[in-house]
Amino acid sequence: MQINGETLLYGIIGNPVRHSLSPLMHNRAFQALGINSVYVPFPVTDVESAITGVRGLGIGGTSVTIPHKQSIMAFLDYIDPVAEKIGAVNTIVGVQSEGRTELHGMNTDWLGANRALELEISLAGKEVILLGAGGSARAIGFGLIEAGAGVTICSRTEQRGRDLAAVLACDWVSLHDVDSLSGDILVNATSVGMHPHENATLVAKESLCGYRVVMDIVYSPLTTRLLKEAAEAGCAIVSGLEMLLYQGVAQFELWTGRNAPVELMRDTLLNATANK
């Protein structure tokens, strides 16, 4: 595709952000569908100034990643009720209104997590142990409860974990007791196991055999120690790449109104991680 005066710009706001796989995924999808758009990384420290630029330049939309998913909400024109309830925005949609660009904040993280898990198991009525109490855990927990699952938050920091459990109206258990817990699904929503600390895990291998499905939001490495040991214990496993894919699919469809080329986007991500 040749960039010209009709090319619509999209991007990802975060810090750091140059490592993101989202530009590869979205640009490949734009190209495949013949959409005259391009997606680039925006390393951002000053959120307010960045949003002024997004609005002033008429940018079609952006992804939002760490550490701006919450702070960016104060500078948007509209927050979707689901994103408001989650308390975080990972997607901005530029909407033209009376000659200006309005910025609407959405959250597709929970959609990505649910769709990734539903590749292996239906969520209604299942019991989920959710490791972590940060922004990712918040979005994933919301999505699980919306799908009819029961959730137990398991975190290292008690106050943060109890606060999230109160918001989600679910139970909290200390991470120290994780190996005494059981359920249908285990989700790691922390960064433990991420490169370069691939040997780290929060759950003992012998404690994994009771779960039917284990998902890790970490996608570098693609198969974390947690997922490797879960597979050895007989669990179905879901990598963080699937959540990244499906939250991106939802973003693409919000921005373009077109059905995303899901398999092409997945192959793009898999190829990128294989080449790292």
168 and 213 assigned to the same domain:
yes
Domain total in the chain:
2
Same domain, 101 and 124: no
- 131 and 145 part of one domain: yes
In a domain, 3, yes or no: no
Domain residue limits at 224: 110-238
Can you give the pLDDT at residue 276? 62
Answer yes or no: is 2 within a domain: no
Q: What are phi and psi of 142, to 5 degrees?
A: -60, -50
Query: Which residues partner with 185 through β-bridges?
Result: 128, 213
Q: Are residues 12 and 70 in the same domain?
A: yes
133-183 tens-digit pLDDT = 988 999 999 999 999 999 999 999 999 999 999 999 999 999 999 999 999
Smallest CA-to-CA distance from 55 within 106, 9, 108, 4 is with 9
CATH number, domain containing residue 24: 3.40.50.10860
Q: Catalytic amino acids? A: 69
The answer to whether 250 and 242 are in contact (CB under 8 A) is: no
CATH code of the domain in which 147 resides: 3.40.50.720
Q: 101: pLDDT confidence band, cut at 50, 70 and 90?
A: confident
Residue 261 lies in a domain: yes
- Radius of gyration for the alpha carbons in the chain, expressed in angstroms and rounded: 19
Sheet containing strand 61-64, strands side by side: 37-43, 8-14, 61-64, 91-97, 100-106, 78-79
On whether both 233 and 121 belong to a single domain, the answer is yes
